[in-house]
Structures are given as C-alpha cells and as structure tokens.
Amino acid sequence: MIDHLSRAVISDPEQNLAIERRESDHILPDSKMTPLRFRKRTLHETKIRTHSTLTENVLSHKLQFDGRIISRNGRDACRELIGFFFTHDQSLTIYEYRQFGKNRTIVLPFIQKSIYSHQCGRRKGKQYRLGDFYVGATLTFLSSDASLPENMKENTFLKLRITYIDQIALDSLKTASMEQEDDIIIQETNDRLVFKAIQDVLKEKLHKRGVRILTGLGKYFQQLDKEGNGLLDKADFKQALKVFHLEVSEKDFESAWLILDDNGNGKVDYGEFKRGIIGEMNEYRKSYVRKAFMKLDFNKTGSVPIINIRKCYCAKKHSQVISGHSTEEEIKSSFLETLKVACSKSDEVSYGEFEDYYEGLSIEIIDDEDFVTVLRTPWGI
C-alpha cells in the first residue's frame, strides 16, 4: 500500500487530466465491494490544455470501475485493474496497477482509450454503453486490443469481470442518459433463468459435497483438455456431469449449450461452462480468495508450493481446535489432503485449483461474512 501512484505518461492529451479517486471506507450495500485501495489514487497528475473541442468538464463525465481478469492462471487472475468509461463518446480505457518491490506501485496502460464492442454473448458486435457497467458484469475484448503478455495473446478473447463501481457516479450518469431498453435485455434475462433452473436442480447435490465435487471437476476438466486451450466439446461436458452425478435433463442441457456456444464452433471454455451450470461465488467473496492467494504467491508465479501453504495455514482459531475435538495439526493435514486431491501437481497449487476449493466451500456457506471469516482466520488477511 502506498499513498500515491507514480505519474503515467499518456500520449492522448485528452487523457492527461487529473483523475482522483475519493478516499472512502464505505462498502456499497448492493455490491458489498470496496475499492481496490482505500488510498488516494491519482492516475494523471499533469495539468495541460486539451487541443480539441472537448472540455475538461465533458471528459469528467466518466464512470470509474475496478476489474479482474477471468482466468485460472494466477498471475492473470490477480492483476489489479481500474477502468474509466466516458459517456461523451462511449469510449473506455483500462489500466493495471503493478507493484515493484514493497514501496513502489505504478499504473500502466492495459487497454488504450477507444470505442469498443462486445466480443461474445447476446451483445456481440454492439458498442459498450453505460448500462453494461455494474458489479458482476463481464466485459469482453479481443486479446489484440490489450497490452498483454504473449501467453495471454494465445486466447482470442480477453474477459474482464467488474468487481467495484462508483455507484454515485453511475446513478448520476444514468439520470442524464437516455438509453433505451432493447430485446437483448429480455434475451439475457431468459438466459439467466435457464442457468438458474439448472443451478437450483444441482444445488442440493452440491450442498454437502461442494468442495469435493468442484475440486474434482476442475481436475477432471484439465485431464480432458488434451490441447491445453481450456476448450471442451459437448460430449466431454456430458461425460463429466455423469461421472460426478450432476446429470441434468437433456432439454436443460441443450438450452444451456445454445447460450454457452455462442460462436457455434461446438466447443466451450470449461470455466464458462462451470460458471453457467453450477454458478460462482459473488465478487465480495472472490476478492478475499484472490487476496489470500496473492499473500501466498508472493513471487507472483501463479502457483504456490504446498510446503508454503503448510507454513502459512494457521488452524489455531479453527472451531474444532477451540472446542478440543481436533488438534491444529489434524485440521491442517485435513485441509492439505483435500487441496492436494484437486492439484494436477503433487507439490504445488495453482490459482485455479485454489479457487476451485473455495468455490466448493462457498456453496456450503450461506452467509457472506461467515465465508469471509473462514478465509481470513487461517490466512491472516
């Protein structure tokens, strides 16, 4: 944590405006999400005149949001992103916070300011607009549009999840906006109902076996993914659901498949499939999972040696230890054994495997604060 950020040199003079983030410890009631950092953030400290007809007042009509990359790769999933959507021209830009050492953090361009369109889903080909920005929304881009490392460019699309939004600015901008509802909103609502119906059917099967099924399913998908691109076909998914006794009706499966296979190429990312069929924890919970993993992955490699997890995991305040039913070592060993089952390598845990464990645990814990306590207590976050 630092009190200010280094200056970012931006070539577009319209972006060289002082953009400050309000210090706040307020948690929005609807999202339960806090900003990426509580400290003051200044992306552009230079004050120059714009050379176009756009005024500083017009450019100030922007919506600020935080985001994360949807990925099973730990280095990518734990990147800290902040973006701005400008209502005057429907453009957006996204930056990445990068930490160097303990006391230096800089902000780097991640997606250059421009007008972008949805690359997947019902809105494919349509420009981003104000209504597309809310906590939990997924933004899709071509990988070629972002400043990405080579390993990330192997995927055609980059998918970002909005984790926090400036609700005050959003409400203000919505009041001034004249966006019209369209048929796509109805279609997206129907899509959510399809997935919810399937999730409700599977909820009872997952309630007491969430960790075992989610970790096992993640590992099974990796084994089926011979090409290593994260894509599987319909037969693979049907086989996986059968192996883990998560069968759904043929009608429900086909309805979900039509939504997920929006490109019509017969293959779907297994992370997308799992999120659609089973669901996922909310962004409030996910933020603590990422925080715990980032604490363990201090070298930012995307994987954590099992030996480091053993050293960092503290079972002293576990309820069974406090009650005297189990020792600290028994709780720690039980946790590690369960985690190891999910791992493709015996000596390390990837971010995706770590996330699978807590996705399963999340299904078994109803209250958000109870879940957060389960995470904070052993990891000291």
Average pLDDT over residues 79-100: 92
Band of the pLDDT at 98, cuts 50, 70, 90? confident
Q: Among residues 265, 266, 205, 287, which one has the least CA distance to residue 241?
A: 205
CA distance 69 to 281: 15
pLDDT, tens digit, for every residue of 316-336?
A: 999 899 999 999 999 999 999
Lowest mean pLDDT among 106-115, 202-211, 262-271, 320-329: 202-211
CA distance 170 to 365: 31
pLDDT at 315: 92
Cβ atoms of 268 and 260 closer than 8 Å: yes
Average pLDDT over residues 207-233: 90
> What rounded mean pLDDT belongs to the chain?
83
pLDDT at 123: 92
Checking if the pLDDT of 214 tops 80, the result is yes
Average pLDDT over residues 188-197: 94
Checking if the pLDDT of 59 tops 90, the result is no
Token pair recorded at residue 161: 């999840």
Band of the pLDDT at 298, cuts 50, 70, 90? confident
Cα–chain center distance at 192: 18
